[in-house]
């Protein structure tokens, strides 16, 4: 019963989260913060671990939104991302829980390229990469790639999320994470089973964070894009990248060279939106 009350307190504000105004975003943030602080209407005495329970529920729910909503409507990521960042500043433990749930759902965000361990079944290995099974049957590759794309774009939106007005604390998942993630990926030795997710990660980060990265370090971004285009992109193709992931990555690289920068992502909140 207690689980139900907390789940409702967390999921009710998240599920309909659409950004219509800064006041709506603030209202959602306040509801979730109250839940984290134990202000959940139950007749049961509060448990000392309930805050961590709520934080973990929230982290799971955020990732589920990435899989189910952001995968098809990436512009919807930014309101959820802004609330998530605000709560991460208020409740530092949420940072670790969010990263842990991200690691479970999409290990390429760590980033790490997992190998199949000796004695590990193929099913367990695929699950470690984030694949889902329904009635013992693995999901189609298209569904897997779409889910990974949604998670990646959600985390990218978290990286560039607008902080609350007059917020003096540093961004808990700042732009340095986009630079780090891409630079680490550039140093991986590619193997065929990982090339599609890697292409999807690079595309998602550039699509959502590219304009902020350009504003941050334009010359360094140009060097990074040249490296991807001249060295990494051919290796992805050589190792069997599928037409969808490699095609989308190629398009966004071409866009950069045509425009000289990346456009701001659709759906990004204005500065001092809330």
DSSP label at residue 216: H
Confidence check: pLDDT of 249 > 80: yes
* Residue bearing tokens 């060279």: 257
Confidence check: pLDDT of 78 > 70: yes
- Mean pLDDT of all residues in 5-20: 56
DSSP label at residue 273: -
CA angle 42–48–49, rounded 5-degree value? 95
pTM, whole model, 2 decimals?
0.90
Quick one: pLDDT at residue 268? 93
3-class DSSP assignment, residue 134: strand
More confident residue, 35 or 139: 139
Q: How far apart are CA 203 and CA 224, in angstroms?
A: 13
Nearest CA among 151, 260, 170, 250 for reference residue 208: 151
pLDDT digits (tens, 9 = 90+) for 45-57: 555 567 778 888 8
Confidence check: pLDDT of 219 > 70: yes
Quick one: pLDDT at residue 41? 55
Q: How far is CA 214 from CA 171, 223, 259, in A?
A: 18, 11, 12
Confidence check: pLDDT of 114 > 70: yes
Quick one: pLDDT at residue 81? 94
Report residue 237 CA to chain centroid gap: 25
């Amino acid at each position: 019963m207690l689980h139900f009350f907390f789940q409702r307190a967390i999921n009710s504000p998240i599920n309909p989260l659409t950004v219509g105004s800064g006041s709506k975003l603030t209202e959602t943030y306040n509801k979730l913060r109250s839940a984290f602080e134990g202000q959940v209407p139950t007749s049961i005495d509060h448990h000392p671990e309930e805050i961590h329970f709520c934080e973990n529920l929230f982290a799971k729910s955020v990732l589920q939104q990435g899989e189910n909503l952001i995968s098809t409507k990436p512009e919807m990521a930014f309101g959820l991302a802004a609330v998530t960042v605000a709560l991460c500043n208020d409740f530092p433990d949420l940072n670790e829980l969010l990263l842990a749930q991200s690691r479970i759902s999409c290990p390429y965000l760590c980033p790490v390229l997992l190998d199949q361990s000796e004695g590990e079944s193929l099913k367990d290995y695929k699950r470690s990469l984030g694949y889902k099974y329904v009635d013992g049957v693995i999901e189609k590759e298209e569904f897997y790639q779409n889910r990974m794309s949604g998670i990646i774009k959600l985390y990218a939106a978290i990286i560039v999320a607008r902080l609350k007005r007059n917020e003096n604390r540093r961004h808990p998942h700042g732009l340095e994470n986009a630079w780090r993630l891409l630079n680490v990926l550039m140093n991986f030795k590619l193997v065929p089973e990982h090339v599609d997710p890697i292409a999807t990660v690079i595309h998602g980060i550039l699509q959502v964070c590219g304009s902020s990265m350009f504003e941050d370090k334009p010359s360094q971004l140009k060097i990074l894009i040249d490296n991807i285009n001249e060295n990494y992109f051919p290796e992805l193709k050589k190792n069997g990248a599928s037409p969808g992931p490699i095609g989308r990555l190629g398009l966004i690289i071409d866009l950069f060279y045509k425009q000289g920068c990346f456009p701001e992502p659709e759906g990004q909140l204005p500065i001092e939106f809330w």
